Amino acid sequence: MNIGDVADAAGLPAKTIRYYEDIGLITPHRSANGYRQFTQSHLHKLAFIARARGLGFSIEQCRTLLALYEDRDRASADVKALAETHLSEIDAKMAELSEMRRTLAELVQACAGDHRPDCPILKGLAAPDKAD
């Protein structure tokens, strides 16, 4: 398969696949004309990476997951540990966003949003503890 075919099949831009080759995630062969040649196995890997990325794993985490995937003797505990690490990263981000959301929603709530210049949002940003 050429790069366009795997790109379509894996749901990734061709550019991204070239980048993944650059950083050593995959190593397609080359045909005589210099085109990258992908096998089903390459496609599997790319789809695997695409899904892991979709779950928010970093490229380095994907590299590790891929290595575990290819290692028939891995312990599932190693995979689970990595997934749990990522799960708590997600939880941390969600907590951060949730706190932002709470504060921002309060400010928005307090703002009339009319033609007048008086604005609790700006006041809140300027001096959070005495937002009027």
Partner DNA sequence: TCTTGACCCTCCAGTCACTGGAAGGCTTAT
Partner DNA sequence: ATAAGCCTTCCAGTGACTGGAGGGTCAAGA
Judged by beta carbon distances under 5 to 8 A according to partner kind, the member of DNA, a second copy, none in contact with residue 59 is DNA
CB 37 within 8 A of CB 28: yes
Candidate residues 11, 27, 39, 58; the one interacting with DNA per rule CB under 7 A:
58
The span from the first CA to the last CA of the chain, in angstroms, equals 64
Query: Residue 29: enclosing H or E segment and its boundaries?
Result: strand 29-30
* Contact residue for DNA among 35, 82, 86, 123 (CB under 7 A): 35
Query: Contact between 64 and DNA (CB under 7 A)?
Result: no
Q: Could you say which of 10, 26, 36, 42 contacts DNA (CB under 7 A)? A: 36
Whose Cβ is closer to DNA: residue 18's or residue 123's?
18
Contact of 62 with 52, CB cutoff 8 Å: yes
How is the chain split among helix, strand and coil, in percent rounded to 5?
A: 65, 5, 30
Q: Enumerate binding residues for DNA (CB under 7 A).
A: 2-5, 7, 13-16, 18-19, 32-36, 53, 58-60
